Amino acid sequence: MARIGVFVCHCGTNIAKTVDVDRVAAAAARMPNVAYATTYLYMCSDPGQNIIKEAVKEHSLDRIVVAACSPSLHEKTFQKCAEAAGLNPYFSEMANIREQCSWVHSDREEATAKAIKLVQMAVARAYYDQELYQSQIPVHRRALVIGGGVAGIQAALDVAASGYEVVLVERTPSIGGRMAQFDKTFPTLDCAACILTPKMVEVASDPNVKIVTYAEVESVSGFLGNFEAVIRRRARSVRMDACNGCGVCYQKCPSKKIPSEFNAGLGTRTAIYVPFPQAVPNVPVIDRENCRYFLTGKCRICEKVCSAQAIDFDQQDEILKEQFGAIIVATGIDVLDHSIYGEYGYGRYPDVISGLQLERLINAGGPTQGILKRPSDGKEPESVVFIQCVGSRDDSKGFPYCSKVCCMYTAKHTILLKEKHPETEIYSFYIDIRSTGKGYEEFVRRAQEEFGVHYLRGRVSRVYPRGDKMVVMGVDSLLGQQVEVEADLVVLATAAQARSDAKELARKLNVATDRYNFFTEAHPKLRPVETLTAGVFLAGACQFPKDIPDSVASGSAAAAKVASMFSKPFLLSEPTVAEVLPLTCVGCLNCQSVCPFNAIDEVAFVNPLTREEKKVAKVNEGLCNGCGTCVAACYSSSIQLRGFTDEQIFRQIETALAP
Amino acid sequence: MSKNSTEEKQAAAAAEWEPSIVGFLCRWCSYAGADLAGSSRMEYPPNVNVIRVPCSGRIDPLFVLKAFQQGADGVLVSGCHPGDCHYAEGNYYARRRMTLLKRLLEFLGYHPHRLRLEWVSAAEAREFAEVVKDMVEQVKALGPAERYADFDGRPGAVAGLEPSIPVEVPVVGEGERK
């Protein structure tokens, strides 16, 4: 006989409004094996947990069932509570009567009946709970940070500051990321390079950080504390140890007409190049797809002019295999390719540019040395129109979400233009202004009031050329009028979107993505930098568009999670793994063939009664992730998944269907 | 006249009849998707009782058969989208098993709509609510499922009079641990 206690939570009115919790508790009290049932306003709160602990003592309960929210939210809470009450933590079950009952049903009768059923199923399952114990797993105290933007740099610095080794992998030839492309930052207008480049140097000189640029993560295997990552360092064709960064090679390179990625396609670069002068590491890369020598077999000018003899045309990709205890993903965002907006003429009219391109055009390190010249004829624009929400908040062509940063960077652009050329006429079409950060609203107000930027509320229907000007046709919805503005330059505030290969990386890391391919956090509020894959963390805009302060904060947060994980002597593994019952195992090893983790070995087993020896399957608990695929594949029911045994699930099925 | 009223009564009973559906949801995608449907307050009918499993690969075809034997009118099996399995490939096994099982069920005389295999991600709250609504409607149209008897002739299990929680049953694997 078990003595199960059932604890029904009101969750304020979240549950109690739709589910008659008293009736649920009364029904639970009559269920077989239930020795005690009660309700409380907030079971997860301190007094709620005390009710559980006291009831365990007073009524000699040996299992608890908490009817409350989803186990994804509070399973751990109540396992800890059970442990504090002197029970094995795995003698605790939850019935999800909030997310999957009170919040999705409105009829009180129906919802109460379903809640009773869910409690009944949890009670049936609890009866078969087993005592389980976590085992210790060792940790490799090294972190892998994927992505060298400001979030990744911050995360690497913070993990390194806690005394642990970090490998920072960056896909492009230099760390720095999006922020390195920016001119100034809102709302303080400090120069992006002035605050970022010292950080880049700091991370490069940190003895705990190893930076691997021009490299990508090919595959990741293993689990929490024991990941193995395969990193492909692409051939740079320049020896890092020999190059002194003098820059003669790219000054002399004859292939000069390659669009510069760093300048968002506006300027040009050479085939051997550093993306920008402050690059870290300051070592050029040969772009083999555009290099004359690699295309035609002739040239080698860079080799001739290199006094350090650092050019190495025969360099091969290098494969690094490294062990890590934790992984921080900080791969950032792409900018929407808004050629889908044919009505804005992007791609056809050179004077319709994106916000990121404007950022390069006003940057002193950009293709025009910071003097804003429009791309078509190099004229300095006298009037500029900004169009916001291009691709954001637009379900039909772009994304339904708000990209969060565009209102602010558009305000920044307008102020920067006005500061240099106060006589420029600037118009900004917007849907709503979203400026919800420290000093943000004041900043937008400054653009409108102090700098006299004309904010027009409404959408733009068309952009077309007239003479050497662009005509922007739209509607001012506050005046209820059609408006037509002539401009020399049109700047689109394009949506931020997930990296095109985010999904691919998510699969390598085994983490979830949302419908837009942003990485999904473990809990949107309480675990914002963790993923549901233990040991993999998120930093920066790969999770959702973030501005610089938020990216830096999430980088630090992820680093803190990693550091706290590394500070423990060992980690505890979930005991809910598969287990072979050797007495009945026939050694067919069907389980081995379906196991995704190679966690099943063949071992010899001697029957203690008959002394017969046979081959049986055995689960390596360190490798088993507890998916249970082997259990469903076993012909003789000789393999069980702890916490999800056949017996438990069969009883749940029976209970679910009993009248 | 009397014949008419019997028919009316039957029609009224059929209209009131609510199907029982058991849902097996993997904890990483579909169960989380169902949770999100809750947090987003998306209403759907209460006919599905959910059993949370670690992975759709854990779902033994016997679970589905057991559910039908115990009187389920429909069974929903839902996991991560192909390629997105938390355990890399569990949902591929689920897909193969359920495909075969579906053919067996059809052979036994169950309408194919009674077993539904769906991929619902942790973000697809609306999709989950739609799947439930749609399935309840479909199964309702089919009417109650025929039930096969329990091999052990368990009292109550077949007649469906009382929950069959046994009073004293050894815990699985207990012998091994001692």
Per-residue pLDDT, B159: 36
Contacts of B167 in chain A (CB under 8 A): 1, 32
Same domain, A619 and A635: yes
Peptide bond into A281 cis (omega under 30): yes
Domain that holds residue A306: 237-315
Mean pLDDT of chain B: 83
Rg (CA), chain A: 31
Query: Does any domain span residue A656?
Result: no
Q: What is the number of residues in chain B?
A: 178
Q: What is the CATH number of the domain that holds A69?
A: 3.40.50.960
Query: Does any domain span residue A492?
Result: yes
Query: Does any domain span residue A657?
Result: no
pLDDT along chain A (659 residues), means of 10: 94 96 96 95 96 96 96 94 96 97 96 97 95 90 98 98 98 96 94 94 97 96 91 96 94 94 93 94 96 95 95 96 97 91 86 95 92 93 96 93 96 96 96 95 96 95 94 94 95 96 92 90 89 93 97 98 95 90 94 91 93 93 89 94 95 93
Q: Give the three-class secondary structure for A109.
A: helix
Q: Give the three-class secondary structure for A77.
A: helix
Per-residue pLDDT, A526: 86
Residues 6+ apart with CB under 8 A from A66: A7, A9, A43, A52, A74, A78, A92, A93, A94, A95
Same domain, A521 and A442: no
Per-residue pLDDT, A518: 96
Q: What is the CATH number of the domain that holds A585?
A: 3.30.70.3270
Closest residue in A to B72 (Cα) is A657
Give the end of a domain, one of A497, A525, A552: A497
Chain B closest CA to A38's CA: distance in Å?
Answer: 22
Same domain, A542 and A470: no
* C-alpha atoms less than 13 angstroms from C-alpha of A312 in its C-beta half-sphere: 17
Query: Does any domain span residue A655?
Result: no
Same domain, A491 and A372: yes
Give the end of a domain, one of A253, A285, A315: A315
Q: Give the three-class secondary structure for A64.
A: strand
Which of B30, B44, B53, B124 should one mutate to test binding to chain A, selecting the residue with the greatest count of A CBs within 10 A?
B53
Q: What is the CATH number of the domain that holds A143?
A: 3.50.50.60
Phi/psi at A483 (5° precision): -130, 150
Same domain, A224 and A241: no
Q: Three-state SS across A482-510?
A: EEEEEECEEEEEECEEECCCHHHHHHHHC
Closest among A231, A218, A345, A210 to A281, alpha carbons compared: A210
- B133 burial via Cβ count (<10 Å: 0-12, 13-18, 19+): middle
Query: Does any domain span residue A654?
Result: no
Query: Does any domain span residue A658?
Result: no
Residue A42 gets which letter from DSSP? -
Return the domain boundaries, chain B: 17-148
Per-residue pLDDT, B155: 39
Contact A596 B160 (CB under 8 A): no
Same domain, A349 and A253: no
Rounded Cα gap, residues A551 and A541, in angstroms:
6
| Cα dist from A545 to A392, A519, A542, B124, whole Å | 11, 11, 7, 20
pTM over 0.95: no
Instruction: Find the DSSP H helices in A496-617.
Output: 502-509, 548-566, 590-594
Which of B31, B172, B174 should one mutate to test binding to chain A, selecting the residue with the greatest count of A CBs within 10 A?
B172
Confidence at B174, pLDDT banded by 50, 70, 90: very low
Neighbouring CB atoms inside 10 A of A467's CB total 7
Same domain, A465 and A394: yes
Contacts of A576 in chain B (CB under 8 A): 54
Same domain, A529 and A557: yes
Same domain, A353 and A483: yes
Closest partner residue to B46 (CB to CB) among A111, A515, A653 is: A111
Residue A325 gets which letter from DSSP? S
CB A306 within 8 A of CB A249: yes
| Cα dist from A406 to A331, A454, A458, B19, B95, whole Å | 19, 17, 16, 50, 43
Architecture of domain B17-148: 3-Layer(aba) Sandwich (3.40)
Size of interface A-B (CB pairs under 8 A): 203
Closest among B21, B14, B83, B28 to B56, alpha carbons compared: B28
Residue B153: is its pLDDT beyond 60? no
Give the end of a domain, one of A127, A146, A180: A127
Per-residue pLDDT, B177: 36
Per-residue pLDDT, A136: 87
CB A142 within 8 A of CB A322: yes
Place of tokens 């149209």: B141
Dihedral sign of CA atoms A509, A513, A517, A520 in order = negative
Least confident range of A149-153, A617-621, B82-86, B131-135:
B82-86
Phi/psi at A356 (5° precision): -65, -35
Rounded Cα gap, residues A100 and B48, in angstroms:
10
CB burial string A342-381: b at 16+ within 10 A, e below? eebbbeebebbbbbbbbbbbbbebbbbeeebebbeeeeeb
Same domain, A505 and A591: no
Per-residue pLDDT, B168: 43
Per-residue pLDDT, A137: 86
Same domain, A50 and A110: yes
CB A70 within 8 A of CB A100: yes
CB A270 within 8 A of CB A258: yes
Confidence at B162, pLDDT banded by 50, 70, 90: very low
Contacts of B97 in chain A (CB under 8 A): 632
CB A86 within 8 A of CB A56: yes
What ipTM does the predicted assembly reach?
A: 0.83
Closest residue in B to A633 (Cα) is B60
Query: Does any domain span residue A158?
Result: yes
Same domain, A559 and A629: no
Split into its structural domains, chain A has a count of: 5
